[in-house]
Structure 1
Amino acid sequence: MRIVDRRLNPGGKSFSNRQRFLRRVRETVERAVREASRERAIEDLESEQEVTVPADGAREPVFRHTAGERRDFVLPGNREYIEGDLIDRPTGENGGGGTEPGKGGGQEDAFRFVLTREEFLSIFLDDLELPDFAKRGLVDTQKLGSRRAGFTMSGTPANLSLGRTMQRSLARRIAMGRPRTQVVERLERESAGAADKEVAELLAEELRSLRARRLRIPFLDPVDLRYRRFERFPKPVAQAVMFCLMDVSGSMTEHMKDLAKRFFMLLHVFLTRRYQRVEIVFIRHTDEAQEVDEETFFRSTETGGTTVSSALVEMDRIITNRYDPASWNIYGAQASDGDNMMSDNDRTRALLQEKILPRCQYFAYLEVANSNETSPIAYFGGSSLWNAYAPLSASVRNFQMRRVSRRDHIYPVFRELFQRRESSNAETQT
């Protein structure tokens, strides 16, 4: 029997060797990826990445003789020793080819190789997950459902399709020329009433032939049976939607907008790679909020005042109209410079606490700051929006807030917000 494997693999004859090597040095590569990600720009996620692995990390185990032990072996072409000569036992030092012992081998150079985009993202995003995604007891995002898929010639009696079976039977009888009952009955009447003996014999012979043909071609044959067929198909167990909210008002400097855009670009790459069934809704706001597409969200420019509550009102409206919390896992991420109208802070906090958080499994607030403010986590003094959100961060489990001021803060803050929670795994297992 010949077996042809037609599965598609990436180009290159060393693909399997490369995967085996990555598994062997995975821990070392993970450290190298974390170090490289600190300096890597968001745009570089679309390109390959060179990582450095210490030579010791890529070393393969080998068998060798232990220094100083006695062993018997043959030296071809020996002209120096004869049988019975005594030879000094080796000292075990790293000697060279001369008569003096070596001073120790030099250190090997680090091993460099290039990770593809898919390999880099796979390692970088491996321990990230939507927080508390398993709180509803979900192990996977899909289960198998059942649906009609035509007919089959085998099955259980309960799935027998009488209509389709009789259609097949009729088509077979017509194609094979099975005599109809009306024709046989007509010949029987003609044969019984025939006055001429010769005609009666001909009719009787034809009648016998028709009856024999009817016996050879049954009314219902096993090949006519048709059963309703059902097939299994992947069916979503739970659906997730991620809301991305960003302030694009006049108080946001280009540096702040750059930080916010980079955070959401990273979030977008993470979600679209990690979960195939996650929908993403982009909402940008000044003093008014609107739902936009991805290109407009990241590229378009707009100026105006700052009314954060408008974004939460738009998010609440979209949830009400399109995403029933009973059927969807809802997540939110908001990026802002923290400036907001003082008269709007109470309304913003009330909307988040009463309308948004009860419907969300997780909501993350990222505050972007000027580059001269160095703390990525704590913000003493606080902006108006930070101070409005602070009580919720301390009391509500599904709400977290962080602050970034430089590009190199984005990766650690992102990983902290979306790292895999052990508690979620424990809940799933129980």
Structure 2
Amino acid sequence: MDEFSFQINHDEFLEHMFDNLELPNLVRKQLEDMTEFKIRQAGYTTAGSPDRLNVVRSLRSAHARRIALSGGDRREIRALKKELREMEVSPDATDQQRVIELRERIKELNAKLKKLPFIDDFDLKYNNMVKVPSPSNKAVMFCVMDVSGSMTQDIKDMAKRFFILLYLFLQRNYKEIEVVFIRHHTAAKEVDEDDFFYSRETGGTIVSSALEMTRDVINKRYSPADWNIYVAQASDGDNWEGDSSVCTKILTEQIMQKVQYYCYVEITDRAHQNLWREYQSVAEKFKDHFAMQQIKSPNDIYPVFRKLFEKKENA
């Protein structure tokens, strides 16, 4: 048996990891103010900037013009050459004066053809570019992570790995995508990427504070008429008693009607916690827009990620 090795670059590796994955329920949204346009080609024009010159179309036009202008002369040249050959093969009947006249005429016509310009301003053709309104499939992903005291360092590491995987997937597969990072313990806070993954702030657990902030940011900055809205939430499921029912109420009444997809990941190797049991009612009510998965160990992160974002054939 022979040993062999091969190498793949960064893009090829990510393409393999995220093959056959997508953001569920992604739809095109038409912007109300129609401020988004795309430049598209709409035929050709005889005037334009040099960078829009269509070389192939221009050369075709020049070739057609030369054929049209020189057609009569070329036919006459062919007829004269035929007559000249016939006279040269019959020397007895050759009229030297006629031969000279034929050769002079052929020379005159060839000189006339050479004076035809190879390309003229009239031949130049430019790509005609126009602005057309473009439907937008812009999307925003809310990454909501529990950083409370019940989240051990191992659980936080698994949550961060899940969100790093999600972040790479969004950057790799979607151009028009925004990411909102929200951390929470007893209070929620919108943070930047660096704070989201590296801040050590911790405290008690009130999950509803994160959902309230998510709701407020959506209402303020991301109209469902213009944006595909997604939420990914990671927690160990441990929540203050009574707050889980508040989370369910916020989700069912104020968030789920505005989002394309909401996924909840419970990171614990124990039995399901009270937040999971509360969220089951949300999953039953919004079957196509709400998904739940459990991560028990680091080995579960990638399989769970694929289950949450696998491409559906009937989509």
TM class, shorter-chain normalised? 0.5 to 0.7
Partner of 1:383: 273
Equivalent residue runs for 1:314-333 within 5 Å? 314-333=213-232
1:402 is the counterpart of 2:301: no
The alpha-carbon deviation at position 231 of structure 1 amounts to 3.6
- Secondary structure class of the residue paired with 2:314: helix
1:357 is the counterpart of 2:248: no
Distance 1:326 1:387 in 2: 32
Distance 2:3 2:281 in 1: 49
Identity %: 46
- Secondary structure class of the residue paired with 1:272: helix
Q: 1:392 aligns with which of 273, 282, 288?
A: 282
Distance 1:420 1:408 in 2: 21
Q: 1:267 aligns with which of 142, 150, 166?
A: 166
Partner of 1:276: 175
Residues 234 and 109 (structure 1), Cα distance of their counterparts in 2 relative to 1, 3 Å cut: farther
Equivalent residue runs for 1:15-30 within 5 Å? none
**Is contact 1:132-1:421 (8 Å) kept?**
no
Which structure has the higher relative contact order (CA within 8 Å, separation 6+)? 2
Distance 2:240 2:147 in 1: 15
The alpha-carbon deviation at position 110 of structure 1 amounts to 4.6
Distance 2:167 2:195 in 1: 14
The alpha-carbon deviation at position 114 of structure 1 amounts to 1.6
Distance 1:234 1:113 in 2: 46
Match for 2:283: what amino acid? Answer: S
1:300 is the counterpart of 2:193: no
Match for 1:109: what amino acid? Answer: D
Partner of 1:27: none
Partner of 1:114: 7
1:255 is the counterpart of 2:146: no
Distance 1:401 1:136 in 2: 27
Give per-residue Cα distances to partners, 1:379-401, cap 9 Å, x unaligned. 5xx20101110122233121011
Equivalent residue runs for 1:160-239 within 5 Å? 231-232=130-131, 235=134, 237-239=136-138
Runs of 4+ in 1 over 6 A off after TM superposition: none
Q: 1:369 aligns with which of 244, 268, 271?
A: 268
- Secondary structure class of the residue paired with 1:132: coil
Distance 1:235 1:121 in 2: 29
Q: TM-score, normalised by structure 2?
A: 0.67
**Is contact 1:131-1:362 (8 Å) kept?**
yes
What's the Cα RMSD here? 2.6
Match for 1:125: what amino acid? Answer: F
Distance 1:235 1:114 in 2: 40
The alpha-carbon deviation at position 233 of structure 1 amounts to 7.6
The alpha-carbon deviation at position 292 of structure 1 amounts to 0.3
Distance 1:335 1:352 in 2: 15
- Secondary structure class of the residue paired with 2:238: coil
Q: 2:141 aligns with which of 230, 235, 242?
A: 242
1:132 is the counterpart of 2:25: yes
Partner of 2:188: 289
Distance 2:295 2:207 in 1: 19
Distance 1:401 1:135 in 2: 25
Name stretches of at least 5 consecutive residues in structure 2 with no aligned partner: 31-35, 49-120, 123-127
Match for 1:317: what amino acid? Answer: D
**Is contact 2:28-2:135 (8 Å) kept?**
no
The alpha-carbon deviation at position 126 of structure 1 amounts to 1.8
Match for 1:393: what amino acid? Answer: A
The alpha-carbon deviation at position 405 of structure 1 amounts to 1.5
Residues 245 and 388 (structure 1), Cα distance of their counterparts in 2 relative to 1, 3 Å cut: same
Distance 1:338 1:232 in 2: 50
Larger Rg: 1
Q: TM-score, normalised by structure 1?
A: 0.50
**Is contact 2:139-2:229 (8 Å) kept?**
yes
Q: 2:306 aligns with which of 390, 394, 415?
A: 415
**Is contact 2:29-2:226 (8 Å) kept?**
no
Distance 2:234 2:309 in 1: 15
Distance 2:25 2:3 in 1: 40
The alpha-carbon deviation at position 354 of structure 1 amounts to 1.1
The alpha-carbon deviation at position 154 of structure 1 amounts to 3.4
- Secondary structure class of the residue paired with 2:150: coil
The alpha-carbon deviation at position 346 of structure 1 amounts to 1.3
Match for 2:6: what amino acid? Answer: F
Match for 2:190: what amino acid? Answer: E
Name stretches of at least 5 consecutive residues in structure 1 with no aligned partner: 1-107, 138-142, 156-221, 224-228, 374-378, 425-430
